[in-house]
Structure 1
């Protein structure tokens, strides 16, 4: 009887240890997830490359005009995202390089390319002219001034505009076009 009682006691002790261990692993993982969540940590794959603007800038208050003088409508399609570039008048070689990168980004969207328009304030450089969804906007100092950090001494920033006309993201001058593509690809999935 002594051996049976001892065996039963050992089994009961092992069961308790297993239960406590499972409890610790389950609630420990939940506690770790809570700490990571509330500390602001995010996996690298979920981070934006561009700067998320808080609050977003409402461009509907100053609707732009196309180069031909017609008004540009923000509500053309609920799924259309925009890449907006507002370079200074004397942009030169920096704008040519930027336009080449934007043309490649647009092509890489493949079947989603029709859901991305490129808005260029002023006359775009030749590499971008072949892009079917390019919209040339008439120069407007007031419209340009509404964009945050537009006169960056480092170069020309690129903006992401949502389907309703809100600037939600700013990519710093010299940012890799692949980062812009990554951010827009994530946004296009939100359809």
Structure 2
């Protein structure tokens, strides 16, 4: 038996192990980072709803302006962005509602997978109310089950992003970033 043969075999095995290590190293690093609690790009811009709430299970009733009940579960799977207006919706409130409607439009071909629901007293200005009707369904939370999310500050808006099965995913307090809301919607609307 040639002594060069075991050396060649050992060298080939070493190369094979090094190649395997090159492919395994990123997976090992990702596992260590995950166990340490760090996961890139998983932080949303909204606040998670804890404990989790399902509006269907809670029988949360919203009566629309036309008198009908809002269906949390639609005929097709669509999410709902709920705008909760504080008292006296005026200039700042309308600007935020417009930014939210623009974020929906920015979803492009997926915009039909998101419904916009405004809960609160509509703006006093007739032109503003008419403009809102283009994008928003308006209604009232009959039992006040969402009052904990409604801002107390005049002329402000908070928002809830609700899954198509009625589960509230995240809350956006007054002053939220509409661009951050859009990033979150792009993550969950597929």
Identify the TM-score tier after normalising by the shorter chain.
Answer: 0.7 to 0.9
Paired residue total: 183
Equivalent residue, structure 2, for 1:103: 101
CA contact (8 A) 1:81 1:115 kept: yes
Give the 3 Å change call, closer, same or farther, for CA 34–87 of structure 1 in structure 2: same
Equivalent residue, structure 2, for 1:64: 62
Normalised by the length of structure 2, the TM-score is 0.77
Equivalent residue, structure 1, for 2:27: 30
Q: How does 1:136-151 map to 2 (within 5 A)?
A: 136-138=138-140, 140=142, 142-145=144-147, 147=148, 149-151=149-151
- The unaligned stretches of length 5 or more in structure 1 are none
Equivalent residue, structure 1, for 2:137: 135
Equivalent residue, structure 2, for 1:185: 186
Equivalent residue, structure 2, for 1:48: 44
Q: Which has the larger radius of gyration?
A: 1
Please state whether the residue corresponding to 1:120 is helix, strand or coil. Answer: strand
Give the whole-Å Cα distance in 1 for the aligned partners of 2:137 and 2:161.
14
CA contact (8 A) 1:81 1:162 kept: yes
Give 1:92 deviation, angstroms. 2.8
- Structure ranking higher in helix proportion: 1
Give the whole-Å Cα distance in 2 for the aligned partners of 1:76 and 1:20.
54
Normalised by the length of structure 1, the TM-score is 0.77
CA contact (8 A) 2:117 2:138 kept: yes
